[in-house]
Structure 1
Amino acid sequence: LGGLDRLAGFGFGLARAVAAFVGAYMLASVAAPIGVWPDVVQKSQSLPYIYGAAKRAQTWLPDAFRVHLEVPGSMTTPSPAPDASEPDGSKL
């Protein structure tokens, strides 16, 4: 096999894997809320990327097939609390 053929095979294999993960994420989102998913899935480093790809893929679906996708917990960060030095948060 030539180099171009191998490169094309790699590209199509990667695209197929992304499509499989995105489809699985969308189905899992319909089946159960993220809060009940196993911890290993919730703490996965790839989950934010799969979520982003699923959000982009949803734009291609008809309205009847779009699902509500929850934002994974690892992507939500709490806002910092105001400084307690003054009641309004300002510093002296």
Structure 2
Amino acid sequence: MLHIVTQSPANTALATQLSTNISEQDEVILIQDAVYYLLNPQSLNSIFSSASHVYYLNTDAQARGIQSTGQNANACNYEQFVGLTLKHSNNQTW
């Protein structure tokens, strides 16, 4: 399953839901305000640690002035985002 996370880390109830609903086979992409998770690597790791891969939409991060070292999440562009949605038969938007 692909989890498409759109909401900021300020939504603590969502963080709890995410950490309990993401499994080892799942992949996560952070878009829109969810790219703010990149500012707190510890939070990013604790919430998304069970996911097989974590990505973020690089244009959304750039628009918010966020630069990631790529240690906790991999940058992707729109074409790669579409590829992720096609790769997974199930997508969940949060």
TM-score, normalised to structure 2, is 0.31
- Pair member with larger Rg: 1
Q: TM-score of the superposition, structure 1-length normalised?
A: 0.32
Higher normalized contact order (CA 8 Å, seq sep 6+, divided by chain length) = 2
